[in-house]
Structure 1
Amino acid sequence: MRIREIIIYSHAGDIRRISFQINGLNIITGSPSTGKSALSDIVEYCMGQSNFNIPEGPIRDKVAWYAVIYQFPSEQVLVAKPAPATNAASCSRAMIRRGASIDPPSFEDLLQNADDDTVVALLSELLGIPAPQTHVSKDQSRQSYRPTIKHTYYYLFQKQSLIANKEQLFYRQNEDYMQQTIKDTLPILLGVVPEDRMEIESKLRAAKRNLKIAQKQLADAQQFREQLDVRALGLLSEARHVGIFANAATLKTTEEVLFHLSEIARWKPAPVPDEDTWRIAELENEIAMIRKKRSTINETLRATQLFVQKEDGFTNEAQEQKSRLESIAAFPKKTESGKWQWPFAPKDFGLNTPIAKVLLQELLSLDQELKVVAGDRPNLEEFKQKIENELFEMNEQLRIKGEELASAIAANEAIAEMGSRNAAAARVVGRISLFLETYRPDDDLKSLQERVDDCASHVSRLEKAVGIDDSAERLASILNIISNRISLYVGKLDAEFAQYPFRLDLANMTVLIDRPDRPVPMINTGGGENHLAYHLATLLALHYYAANNNKPIPSFLFLDQPSQVYFPSEQIYKSVSGSVDETERDADLEKVRNLFLMLYRFATQEVSNFQIIIAEHANLRDEWFQKSVVEVPWTKPPALVPDEWEVR
């Protein structure tokens, strides 16, 4: 995968195209702030990067769409993306067009037909990134994932601030979690992780799970077999207790016990009639009504008895009074007239006095009242007898209803007891059924043992398949090969410590110099020229291995201003502005020429079908250098974005 063209579109529909040689060295040189460094940002944006890292200025303000045409062995792919909406920091909308040869579409033909995920998936597939996911231990919190083209960015871009940085070797490695991501994905990109490793590990986990299940089943069956007689006899004892097994003979063999348990397992509960609870409630209501009626009759009887008692007292009192008054008849009579003589009256007064008349009248009244009472007494006795008869009937009804209620309650208790017996028996039968279901004859035990042996054999084969994975050794071997190449390129650039072996330290994301006394990491070395040499040597060695071993890393390298370390100051470097004369006057010319010549030879001779793109200020008059310059040196104007383009 290389870069054929970078295209930008104005808001008015104008097109600016920068074409590259897909093989060899490509140099864009010119003045500062003309857009050279933004080229790598555009490429990254059109490789599925949603974050919009294009620098502020005309490249943001005047450009509506950004596009890149990528060259693959058998086709070209155009990826175009619009600028984000105003004040937005990202955009995931994209347009994809594929073909053997693609011309940039017109502005009117630009439309979204994909997104960044689609772009990443397509470029990853065309690049041939393998399927294995990153290997993450079970005790780690991060998740496994499949590498994509995004995991090749680290080896494709060297920004101006990075290319001679002694603290950072790869692009974006200083961002959160990126170092671990590089460690996880680079072995896969270099092909040291077998493509079927994840599949084998998945099969191994499933096989171990099946083995545990088979071992558990076998252990349960063996334990069951050991406790067979004890458990079986215990179940028979329970069956006797609940009344569903009456055989009292001693069972001598396991077969006899199992036979009787099988018979008991076919037990069916006796039908239980429905409880007559509604009749109990009805009888209780009737008894309550009778008691209420009896209570009313009792009140009437007590009132009648009280009335009779009061009447008897009146009769006795009246009779006594009458007797006293009748004693008047015992008064002496007058001899001459034969009339009663009142003892206290004057002589010959008789009974004609007012007192005598009152007493006689009272005696007459009492006599009449006694006659009335005597006449009503038979009716009162009849009423009292009637009430007593009713009360007797009420008591008799209560006795009969009470007996009915007691019978109904007794019947329901018997029904409940029958249901309890059935429930107890059903529980025992359930345990017996479970016992018989889990019972395994010797043949079943043998088949279980065979299954355990088969599962264990399968696990062993898969463990061997995983065990023969020599990924760590292969990665170490590849890193040794790359490290040897690093030493070669450091020597060509005549950097410090070139006499010692160099080693790519993937664990610490740096380069180590293996001095006899102690290893020296890049961060402990000095000089921008040395740091530049270590960076370039590492990336070139990595791409050399990937290109010559058909590894899925894009075949291009984007370098931003590598020659800056060979000028006296940054200000002098920027003032060169793509001028040959100023380069020859101000730079360490031999070192600049040596740098570019090594890059030129790498892309044209050492690695076929490889592309290096360099954004520079320096310019050399050498023919091979001028053949590599793809555009007239950029000044103001010309530059990446034409001045006549309008701001949106």
Structure 2
Amino acid sequence: MKLTIHEIKIWFNDKTTKTRSLNFLPNKINVITGLSNTGKTTIWSIIDYCLLSENFNIATSISKVTSWFGLRFSVNGREISIVRQSPSDKRISSNIYFAYGDFPLIPENNIKNINELKEKLNKVFGFNNSIKSFFVTNSSNKSLKKEYQFDYRDFLIFCALTDTVIGVRNIYLDNIFYSNLGNIDKLTKIFDLAIGIHDLNTIEAYNKLCTIEKKLSDLEKDKKLYTKKQSKLIERIKSLIEKCKFYNLLGYDISFVNISESITLIEKIIQDKKDSAINSEKFEKLDTLRSKKRQILLELNEIRNFNHEYEKYKNNINKMADSLQPIDYLYKNLNSQLINSYQSKLFLANLSDSLKEIKQSLAKKKNPPIDVQDEEKKLIQELKNIDIEISSLKQSIDNLPDMAEEYIRIGEISNELNNILSSFNVGCNINENKIEAMCKILEKNRKNLLEICGKTKNTRFANINLLNSCIQYYFEKFKNISDFKDCKVEFNMATMSLNIFSLSDVSSSIPIITGSQSNFMILHLCFFLGLHRYLLNTKSDFVPQILFIDQPSKPYFEREDDSDKLLDVFFLLNEFFNTLNKDTDETFQLILLEHAESHYWENHKMENFHLVDEFIGDNALIPKNLLKE
């Protein structure tokens, strides 16, 4: 993937201070040299931040005087500008300017959603849904699978040889700076994609394979559950068959054949006994008569209660009439028996009127609102008839005691069979034949996918060998270093680091342990140059054709011969560009941060070096007067 950085630009909070720009050339070793604490290391952090990093690694002293950071670059020939606002209150800003083309004069936010911009950049970098999702199987437990999401940012880790790792023994890829790639499984899969062990076809095959294996696993669980339920169902049906034998409903020579035939057999026993057992109708009729008898008794009880209450009412009326009889006598002899006053006359008149109303009520002789007497007679007669029928049926049933017992047993077996069929949902289970048919189809597809995925084993072996040969090419340029005499290097996929082996002792499988930061730096440099030589040869679609190296001179300037060793490093970098095949339009860009002065490459006419800027004196990434404030 052709990625070229054209310019880094910084806008400051102080509007009177001019913007700061650094311009880079394609197909060159772009060098920024200078003293410590001048902002050199911040260069890659600015690039990373403008490429929408979720982390902010720019020094606070720089970010607090800066308003915007800008990056102008090209991807496969298409120029893009991204300007991102400096964080405030230690929070990463979501204010971003994005455009195809040059920087704006004054940046302002024109992006509503940073995730939408990431999706847009994914398309620009050639990433689509096929490679954004990738399943991997845990090597220690194949039943555990993880799904990793990939985007363009994940492959930047192969483009940065930072000062954090350049002098460290066994750490080659800076998963501290790129902390989201700390998982070795994910890092391994990204590396597989980078060096072409996997392509779009194998990724799709792996994804489909994991989906099929999930379905097969689910079907296997269904089969186990089905088998377990079938075993319990068989036990219950066998038990019910034995009960039929115990009740003499089935011959002892009958044995369990299979679930379906056994259920049919028991259902036939139940149906045959119901058809032949006439007492089943008699019991049903007896239950009906007894129910009807209870209903009649309730109705008779209500009628009798009504009659009792009605007679009680009439008796009370008569008693009231008798108690008022002396009123007539008193009313006729008022003068002789009582004081002839107005109140006495009024009281006697009221009592006399009450007596008249009672006499009139008794004279009418009202009958009850319904003809209860006749209704009672009908119910009594109906009750007698029912008793006769019940007596006859009971006598008939008493003459058939075995049939009554059998009826009860048949009911018991029928209920138990219904419980079995309901509990095990017989008839609704997944058919075992269908499960087997589905498994065969999935296994066939799985086999085809495994063949596709299996090819990656041969691809892995061939690609790693080719990568090792590319690394070895640059490693041999340092044969004058005694620690590397008669040695070869191999990349260890498990540790994602280089191992050194002795060529004089081919039988030994134990790597050589070497010391000193300078050796570690050389090994790191060989790995990254070899990796990018390999990626250029194989036309990688994922890794940008750019490399950032932070201070390879870091381990040097300790002895007199350090300058010679450092010069070897610069010659090696220059040769890397000399080996580019210009006829195939190979392009590459290297950004080098250095303490060393420019005479190292200028005096030796290393034509591939380009001095971007020297941070010496008052010149630095950020004007010193702003930092002092």
TM-score above 0.5, yes or no? yes
Letter matched to residue 449 of structure 2: A
Q: Deviations over 1:207-257 (max 9, x none)?
A: 7479879999x999xx999665544343233234445999xxxxxxxxxxx
Flag the structure with larger Rg. Answer: 1
How far did residue 647 of structure 1 move? Answer: 9.3
1:289 CA displacement: 5.2
Aligned counterpart for 1:191 among listed residues 176, 189, 196:
196
Unpaired runs of 5+ in structure 1?
A: 247-271, 301-389, 415-420, 570-585
1:237 and 2:215 matched? no
Give the conservation status (yes or no) of the 8 Å contact 1:23–1:610.
yes
Cα offset for 1:403?
7.9
Deviation digits for residues 388-435 of structure 1 (CA, Å, limit 9, x no counterpart): xx9xx9999989878889999999xx9xxxxxx9xx89x98x989x99
Structure 1 residue identity aligned to 2:102? D
Q: Which amino acid aligns with 1:550?
A: K
Determine whether 1:620 maps to 2:619: no
Shift of 1:149: 2.2
Aligned to 2:208: 200
Alignment of 1:633 onto 2:623? no
Structure 2 length normalisation: TM-score? 0.64
Q: Distance in 2 between matches of 1:11 and 1:54?
A: 16
Structure 2 spans left out of the alignment, 5+ residues = 235-255, 279-287, 318-367, 394-410
Q: What's the counterpart of residue 109 of structure 2?
A: 111
Task: Check the 8 A contact 2:22/2:613 in 1, yes or no.
Answer: no
Whether 1:492 and 2:493 are equivalent positions in the alignment is no
Equivalent position to 1:456, from 427, 440, 450:
440
Change (3 A) 1:213 1:117: same
2:71 aligned residue (58, 68, 71): 68
Deviation at 1:119, TM superposition (A): 4.5
The corresponding residue for 1:10 is 12
Q: 1:548 is matched with which residue: 537, 540, 546?
A: 537
Q: Pairwise mapping of residues 154-553 of structure 1 onto structure 2 (< 5 A)?
A: 154-172=157-175, 177-193=182-198, 194-201=202-209, 204-205=212-213, 208=216, 230-243=262-275, 287-288=304-305, 456=440, 459-468=443-452, 469-494=454-479, 495=481, 496-515=483-502, 516=505, 518-519=508-509, 524-551=513-540, 552-553=542-543
C-alpha separation in 2, matches of 1:24 and 1:407: 120
Question: What letter corresponds to residue 77 of structure 2 in structure 1?
Answer: S
Question: Which residue of structure 2 lines up, in the alignment, with residue 128 of structure 1?
Answer: 126
Partner SS for 1:28: strand
1:437 Cα deviation after fit: 7.7
Task: Give the C-alpha shift of residue 11 in structure 1.
Answer: 2.3
Contact 1:30 1:633 in 2 (8 A): yes
2:42 corresponds to 1:44: no
Structure 1 residue 604: Cα displacement = 4.3
For 1:245 and 1:120, how far apart are their aligned partners in 2?
Answer: 81
Distance 1:513 1:410 in 2: 112
Counterpart AA for 2:577:
A
**How much has 1:502 moved relative to structure 2?**
0.6
SS in 2 for 1:64: strand
Q: Is the 8 A contact 2:577 2:608 kept in 1?
A: no
Correspondence for 1:609 among 572, 587, 593: 587
Q: Deviations over 1:547-571 (max 9, x none)?
A: 22111101111111111222118xx
Separation in 1, partners of 2:32, 2:569: 16
What is the one-letter code of the residue matched to 2:597? N
Q: What secondary structure, in the 3-state scheme, does the structure 2 residue paired with 1:512 have?
A: strand
SS of residue in 2 equivalent to 1:4? strand
For the residues of structure 1 that align with 2:41 and 2:260, how far apart are their CA atoms?
83
How far residue 84 of structure 1 moved from its aligned partner, in angstroms, is 1.6
Q: How far apart, in 2, do the equivalents of 1:406 and 1:92 lie?
A: 97
**Number of equivalent positions:** 486
Question: Helix, strand or coil: the match of 1:53?
Answer: coil
Q: What is the CA–CA distance in structure 2 between the aligned matches of 1:647 and 1:286, rounded to whole Å? A: 113
**Equivalence for 1:304:** none
Number of the residue aligned with 1:251 = none
Q: Among 19, 24, 31, which residue is 2:23 paired with? A: 19
> C-alpha separation between the residues in 1 aligned to 2:456 and 2:65?
50
Aligned equivalents of 2:532 and 2:591: distance in 1? 14
Shift of 1:642: 2.7
1:509 Cα deviation (Å)? Answer: 2.6
Q: Which letter does structure 1 place at the counterpart of 2:126?
A: G
- Is the Cα–Cα contact under 8 Å of residues 69 and 76 in structure 1 kept in the other structure? yes
Displacement of 1:438: 8.7
When normalised by structure 1's length, the TM-score is: 0.63
Q: Deviations over 1:176-223 (max 9, x none)?
A: 84333212321122221213213431563487479879999x999xx9
Equivalents in 2 of 1:525, 1:227: separation in Å? 73
Q: What is the alpha-carbon distance in structure 2 between the residues aligned to residue 438 and residue 160 of structure 1?
A: 66
**In 1, are the aligned partners of 2:492 and 2:499 still within 8 Å (CA)?**
yes
Name the CA shift for 1:605/1:641 in 2 (closer, same or farther; >3 Å): same
Give the residue type in structure 1 aligned to 2:174. Answer: Y
RMSD value, Cα: 4.9
What is the CA–CA distance in structure 1 between the aligned matches of 2:261 and 2:167, rounded to whole Å? Answer: 83
| 8 Å contact from structure 1 (residues 163, 562) kept in 2 | yes
Letter in 2 for 1:65: W
Structure 2 match to 1:35:
39
1:97 aligns to 2:99 (yes or no): yes
TM-superposed CA distance for 1:103, in Å, is 1.5
Identify if the C-alpha distance between structure 1 residues 26 and 41 changes in structure 2 by more than 3 Å, giving closer, same or farther.
same
- Classify 1:37/1:292 alpha carbon distance in 2 versus 1 (closer, same or farther; 3 Å): same
CA deviations over 1:317-336 (Å, ceiling 9, x no partner): xxxxxxxxxxxxxxxxxxxx
Report if aligned partners of 2:31, 2:613 keep a CA contact under 8 Å in 1.
no
Measured in 2, the distance between the counterparts of 1:396 and 1:75 equals 110
Match of 1:314 in 2: none
CA 1:401 to 1:95, structure 2 compared with 1: closer, same or farther past 3 Å? farther
1:293–1:183: structure 2 CA closer, same or farther, 3 Å change rule?
Answer: same
**Offset at residue 158 of structure 1 (A):** 2.0
Q: Give the AA of the match of 1:52.
A: F
2:147 aligned residue: 144
Give the 3 Å change call, closer, same or farther, for CA 400–641 of structure 1 in structure 2: same
CA distance 1:242–1:484, shift in 2 (3 Å): same
